[in-house]
Amino acid sequence: MNNEYLLKHLRNVPDFPIPGIQFKDVSTLYKHPKCLRIMVNELYEMYKNKGITKVVGIESRGFVVGAALAYKLGAGFVMARKPGKLPAETRKESYMKEYGKDTIEIHTDAITDKDVVLLHDDLLATGGSMLAAYNLVQQFNPKLTFINFIIELTIEGLHGRAVFPEDVDITTLLKI
């Protein structure tokens, strides 16, 4: 897709959070109403006929567009959060990320085997956090699972798509 208007408003932050990383800051896309509309509308067009019943947003940037998209699709929204942030019983999945180990959790009553789930996050780099979210969602045995990112980094050495099973439908709005 690579919408030029979105690319124009995406901020690059050098050496964040550590030296050598070129951080893609999606907050600049969220603060511009036109960018937010473009992202939600393009995603809605991708998924409007897929039968999505739940959108799972990955903490925390996945909450912004994920919740807006769930609303537009008429689906429920589920938060995949860091440990200790959800008040009721949870299932959890741990994973390694570029900067260390982390864990995400989802409420045990958030997803059923009747759901068609769309997992959403802002960025695909190595795929670690989304793979953990995907594995966590699979514990609920949903009918079908889709994965979406706003940005996919296609930098040499990053093979984020390769960590997922080949039959998983993965889409992105921007490839950089």
How confident is the model over 44-74, as pLDDT tens digits?
A: 999 999 999 999 999 999 999 999 999 999 9
Please give the tally of structural domains in the chain.
Answer: 1
CA pair distance 168, 71, nearest whole angstrom? 24
Q: Write down the catalytic residue from 4, 37, 45, 61.
A: 61
Asked whether residue 130 is assigned to any structural domain, the reply reads: yes
Active-site residue 98, yes or no?
A: yes
Structural domain span for residue 101: 50-175
Write the CB contacts of 111 (distance below 8 Å, at least 6 apart in sequence). Answer: 54, 56, 78, 117, 137, 140, 142
Confirm whether 15 is domain-assigned. Answer: no
Distance CA 25, CA 3 (A): 16
- Span 98-124, mean pLDDT? 94
The pTM score is 0.94
pLDDT in tens, 128-139: 999 999 999 999
Active-site option among 37, 91, 93, 98: 98
Burial pattern 27-39, b for ≥16 Cβ within 10 A else e, equals ebbbeeeebbebb
Does 152 reside within a domain? yes
What CATH number has the domain bearing residue 120? 3.40.50.2020
Percentage with pLDDT > 70 across the chain:
98
**pLDDT on residue 143:** 98
Q: Is 28 part of a structural domain of the chain?
A: no
What is the C-alpha separation between 23 and 12, in angstroms, rounded?
A: 6
Answer whether residue 164 is part of any domain.
yes
Distance CA 154, CA 168 (A): 18
Q: Using CA atoms in the order 26, 32, 33, 38, what is the torsion angle rounded to 10 degrees?
A: -50
Contact 50, 122 (CB under 8 A): no
Q: Is 89 exposed, middle or buried (0-12, 13-18, 19+ CB in 10 A)?
A: exposed
Confidence of residue 22 (pLDDT cuts 50, 70, 90): confident
pLDDT value at 158 more than 80: no
Q: Is residue 18 part of a domain?
A: no
